[in-house]
A and B are shown apart, each in its own frame.
Chain A
């Protein structure tokens, strides 16, 4: 898994192809053209780029205005500066009127923020976006998926949030792997003892853990959940019905992201024991991305241990069984 390719470049390639077909596509930046690797786009479509300087709240408001004027803006900068600095602008002026604004957050996750430290490691973005009505939340796994997500977003009416990585992102899927928003993506089915729900750069780690678990006699299913909202509840419940336990794995705080989404779904529709792998509600720090994931409880070993302890958890006895 040493092969890397930038999700940012992948996304921009998708946007470029889209802009060629659709005159309404605009790129809105907050001094983020360089970070977005958007120079080729700028060169090709100088009139389709709105650069607003380091002013994300205004960029969100301007994006709303562009959409009100009939255009389809992609507002792209660091995930936290979109989802936190401009959160209220997104909520009241983009999501509430259900405008066709696509938001693209880079450095999504602590591994994606890596050496930059906490100010640039955004592990709350998905929780924030997921809690606002009308927003579709997409987590493409790698550059090829990001390229497809850029194009898929335009087909989704209303606001869409697309989470991207550091620009040094592992290649996870074959380039031909389709990206179908709103649907879970089953990666492997060794058995139904346990189901892993994962996304982003945690996928390779989960696949390794799944192989190790099989050797220990636990046969797992591995599922990618790249669309956090709307959640593919029906398909997830079908999988939960047949398994003994589930484990989620994401590069995000364990609060509010994929782990929460799956737990909410399980608790509401099909209660099975669920464990969450993710950042355990602490502020991380600078470091190499792989080392960070290992240090903050997201190692392959952490995943294996979570799976074993969860599958061994006994359900609560019913009161009359005492």
Chain B
């Protein structure tokens, strides 16, 4: 486990470095919202998701949707490092003719399984994908990272209601709860909270975790993935958290076997690059030459070659 955690921690830094580089070369993009989700993405793409970069359209792959599509430099970085295309291509972000569009386009980018960018649409598409997976008897999972700001959108709750109603336990939702949206703090802009109670009221089992502590994220998500692939019988009485983690915040008891699971990941916008941390001007902003160099020296890792 320790080796896995160490590898994923290094990869999360690498993905952050790739984001800084991509946005720096594009002279455009949203670095702050990428940084808060980087640890989640490392755990998903470099440990848990069942993928085949050699055959991106393999029918039984897990489907991942980055519902907060403006953070796509992070998605592109994960796909590049996972082998879907060369990392150097990240330099073409947002350039005319590039496969790396300003917001995700499944027709252009290998490994992108669903469009996003217009906020709130990840769960709806995951719901359809999950129904399709059930229908063909596949145990592939449908995993969504949604922002917290985008939970303002009504369609998110239409989808949340439908997924719970249809008992689609093969959907796993992760909320990148960095507490900020474009216009400022979520509680100031939109009155989002209480968040856990909202998900519970819509029929979901909620786990809350530090979204930057890979040592805690990995076991809980690994368990969620096992549960997502399990039969209904196996899910009976299956707890989500290993005992040593149960002190973390979660819904009461064990999830009902028909209940979908959402992880609320407490995160920090800009995490990993000190001058971006908690500064919402980095929602969409391009690092200067000095800021670029500073970020690279802090993050370590490899360049885009």
> Which residues on A are within 8 Å of B, measured CB to CB?
47, 50, 52-53, 55, 57-58, 60-71, 73, 88-89, 92-93, 96-98
Residue in A62, A68, A89 whose Cβ sees the most chain B Cβ within 10 Å:
A62
- Closest-by-CB residue of B relative to A89 is B121
Q: By the criterion CB–CB under 8 Å, are B125 and A96 in contact?
A: no
Residues of B in contact, count (CB < 8 Å): 33
Majority secondary structure, A binding face:
helix
Q: Which residues of A contact B159 (CB under 8 A)?
A: 58, 61-62
Q: By the criterion CB–CB under 8 Å, are A61 and B106 in contact?
A: no
Point out the residue from B105, B129, B155, B165 that lies within 8 Å of A68, measured CB to CB. B129
- Closest-by-CB residue of B relative to A62 is B128
Given A53-B161, A93-B121: A70 and B136 interface contact (C-beta under 8 Å): yes
| Additional 12 contacts, C-beta under 8 A, given A55-B158, A65-B142 | A53-B165, A57-B124, A58-B155, A62-B128, A63-B128, A65-B126, A65-B129, A65-B130, A66-B132, A68-B128, A73-B128, A89-B155
Majority secondary structure, B binding face:
helix
B67 → chain A closest CB, angstroms: 10
Q: By the criterion CB–CB under 8 Å, are A70 and B132 in contact?
A: yes
Q: Which residues of B contact A61 (CB under 8 A)?
A: 121, 123-125, 127-128, 155, 159
A22 → chain B closest CB, angstroms: 13
What's the A-B contact tally at a CB cutoff of 8 Å? Answer: 106
Q: By the criterion CB–CB under 8 Å, are B125 and A65 in contact?
A: yes
Query: Is the CB of B239 closer than 8 A to any CB of chain A?
Result: no
Query: Is the CB of B38 closer than 8 A to any CB of chain A?
Result: no
B248 → chain A closest CB, angstroms: 31
Query: Is the CB of B117 closer than 8 A to any CB of chain A?
Result: yes
Residue in B115, B128, B159 whose Cβ sees the most chain A Cβ within 10 Å:
B128
Q: Which residues of A contact B114 (CB under 8 A)?
A: 64-65, 68, 93
- Closest-by-CB residue of B relative to A94 is B115
A98 to B115, CA, bound (A): 11
Q: Which 8 A-B pairs rank lowest in CB-CB distance, beginning with the nearest?
A: A65-B128, A69-B132, A61-B124, A58-B158, A55-B158, A65-B125, A66-B128, A62-B128
Q: By the criterion CB–CB under 8 Å, are A57 and B154 in contact?
A: yes
Query: Is the CB of B131 closer than 8 A to any CB of chain A?
Result: yes
Query: Is the CB of B7 closer than 8 A to any CB of chain A?
Result: no
Query: Is the CB of B135 closer than 8 A to any CB of chain A?
Result: yes
Q: By the criterion CB–CB under 8 Å, are B128 and A69 in contact?
A: yes
Q: By the criterion CB–CB under 8 Å, are B132 and A89 in contact?
A: no
Q: By the criterion CB–CB under 8 Å, are A88 and B118 in contact?
A: yes
Q: Which residues of B contact A52 (CB under 8 A)?
A: 158, 162
Query: Is the CB of B95 closer than 8 A to any CB of chain A?
Result: no
Chain A to chain B contacts (Cβ below 8 Å), 6 pairs: A52-B158, A53-B162, A64-B115, A88-B118, A92-B118, A93-B114
Given A63-B128, A66-B128, A66-B132: A97 and B121 interface contact (C-beta under 8 Å): no
Q: By the criterion CB–CB under 8 Å, are B124 and A92 in contact?
A: no
Q: By the criterion CB–CB under 8 Å, are A50 and B117 in contact?
A: no
Query: Is the CB of B22 closer than 8 A to any CB of chain A?
Result: no
Given A55-B161, A71-B135: A65 and B107 interface contact (C-beta under 8 Å): no
Point out the residue from A47, A92, A96, A98 that lies within 8 Å of B135, measured CB to CB. A47
Q: By the criterion CB–CB under 8 Å, are B113 and A62 in contact?
A: no
A251 to B128, CA, bound (A): 34
Given A52-B162, A55-B158, A57-B158: A62 and B127 interface contact (C-beta under 8 Å): yes
A81 → chain B closest CB, angstroms: 13
- Closest-by-CB residue of B relative to A52 is B162
Q: Which residues of B contact A58 (CB under 8 A)?
A: 124, 127, 155, 158-159, 162
Query: Is the CB of B133 closer than 8 A to any CB of chain A?
Result: yes
Q: Which residues of A contact B128 (CB under 8 A)?
A: 50, 61-69, 73
Within 8 A of A (CB), among B34-62: 59
Q: By the criterion CB–CB under 8 Å, are B155 and A57 in contact?
A: yes
- Closest-by-CB residue of A relative to B162 is A52
- Closest-by-CB residue of B relative to A66 is B128
Q: Which residues of B contact A70 (CB under 8 A)?
A: 59, 132, 136
Given A53-B161, A69-B133: A97 and B127 interface contact (C-beta under 8 Å): no
A93 to B116, CA, bound (A): 8
Q: By the criterion CB–CB under 8 Å, are B117 and A64 in contact?
A: no
Q: By the criterion CB–CB under 8 Å, are A62 and B125 in contact?
A: yes
Q: Which residues of B contact A88 (CB under 8 A)?
A: 118
Q: Which residues of A contact B105 (CB under 8 A)?
A: 96-97
A63 to B166, CA, bound (A): 15
Q: Which residues of A contact B154 (CB under 8 A)?
A: 57
Within 8 A of A (CB), among B131-174: 131-133, 135-136, 142, 154-155, 158-159, 161-162, 165-166
Binary contact track B87-129/A, C-beta < 8 Å → 1, others 0: 0000000000000000001110000011101100101111111
A200 → chain B closest CB, angstroms: 31
